[in-house]
Amino acid sequence: MSMDRHQFLKYMGAFAGASLLPDLGFGFSPSSDNKPGIFDLHCHTGRFFAKGSSTYPGDEAFAKALVEMNQAGVNSVFLSIVSDISLLRITDKGVVVDSKLEKGVAWESYKNQLVILKELIKNQNAQIGTSVGDLKNSKEVNLFLSCEGADFVEEDVDRINEVYEQGVRSVQLVHYVPNNVGDLQTAAPLNDGLSVYGKSIVKRLTELGMVIDLAHASFETVKGVAESTGAPLLLSHSILAGDPNRPIAARALSRDHAKLIAETGGLIGAWPSGFSKDFEDFVENTLRLIDVVGVDHVGIGTDMDANFQPVINDYFGVEKWLQALAAKGLSNAEVEKIAGGNARRLISSILKA
């Protein structure tokens, strides 16, 4: 009988669950002193988007989130500003966009969120990560800044240099509002993949040593980016496609889509959204993703605290997920790669010293 890696791990995990494999060292705990720590590739922890609104949590909630990260063994995160947030409407079926971005809106939204986020970080004496040197094991969480959607560029590619100087180290090319950078998964194509303008953005990001995030991008856009840069690519939060009737199925990846990211030396953050039916289904979906791209190309992108019907609601849930992967048959070394080792390798190959 032949079986792929996922089937083998599922088979072995059944024995582990029955306590028939007591000496294999399962029971990974990333918060242990000798572990390198979790790297969350995509989050909005603390929901810092709209100061003065009823949903703004303030310093207390942000401080609580940092404490939780620390206790759960989170070493680093990409905290993401959302450039098109003013046009997004959340429904029970996912995000809906009702209009187009007017010029200047995305740039102002980016700047406003940056001020809020930096104020929160300063008030907690936290650290903004900007270089490879910040990828260290420490008792403090390294907060790397990212921006979800390159809409803020607005034909002025020099703005990428500006956001770099402001501390941003990763830019996700597209989000939910269609733009002229590239096509996205959840809207009709407008650019035949990556546009010429999009290529100029990719070129600048590569020159500066910034992470190019292709979450939400269509397969054709990903192909265009892969052909335009030799840098390894990040797809910070998604999951392998399955049943097309699942919620937000348009955001899932085909096998070819996932493999293309891996072929660049890149990384996919497993996404614990409502696409998975529950926590156990997410564990199984993670194993399927590993089977397609290999354990060296999978990480975690929680989308905390802005995820759609999440099956992991806090960072202690991420610990539980890693322990579940170990119980299914992954070695401690493999789980450590998924927890943060792969992310640190990717970041180290892109960011400047």
Residue 4's pLDDT is what?
56
The answer to whether residue 253 is domain-embedded is: yes
**Structural domain total, the chain:** 1
CA distances from 150 to 248, 271, 312 (A): 22, 21, 28
**Domain that includes residue 42, residue range:** 5-15+36-350
Peptide bond into 192 cis (omega under 30): no
Q: Which residues on neighbouring strands pair with residue 182, listed in sequence order?
A: 194
296 class by beta-carbon count within 10 Å (0-12 exposed, 13-18 middle, 19+ buried): middle
Residue 50's pLDDT is what?
58
* Closest by CA position to 43, among listed 349, 245, 329, 300: 300
The answer to whether residue 25 is domain-embedded is: no
Residue 193's pLDDT is what?
98
**CA distance linking residue 343 with residue 234, whole number of Å:** 9
CB of 23 closer than 8 Å to CB of 337: no
The answer to whether residue 31 is domain-embedded is: no
Residue 38's pLDDT is what?
96
The answer to whether residue 124 is domain-embedded is: yes
The answer to whether residue 105 is domain-embedded is: yes
Report phi then psi at 75, rounded to 5.
-95, -35
**CA distance linking residue 304 with residue 308, whole number of Å:** 10
**CA distance linking residue 45 with residue 313, whole number of Å:** 11
User: CA angle, corner 319, sides to 266 and 117, nearest 5?
Assistant: 70
The answer to whether residue 201 is domain-embedded is: yes
The answer to whether residue 211 is domain-embedded is: yes
Residue 294's Cβ-side half-sphere holds a number of Cα atoms within 13 Å equal to: 12
**CA distance linking residue 292 with residue 261, whole number of Å:** 11
Instruction: Region of 117 please: left (phi>0), alpha (psi -120 to 50) or beta.
Output: alpha
- pLDDT per 10-residue tile (average), the chain, 353 residues: 48 38 39 69 79 59 90 94 85 80 92 90 90 79 96 96 98 96 96 97 98 98 98 98 91 98 98 97 98 98 93 96 97 97 96 86
Give the distance, in angstroms, between the CA of residue 174 and the centroid of all CA atoms in the same chain.
Answer: 13
| CATH number of domain containing 124 | 3.20.20.140
The answer to whether residue 286 is domain-embedded is: yes
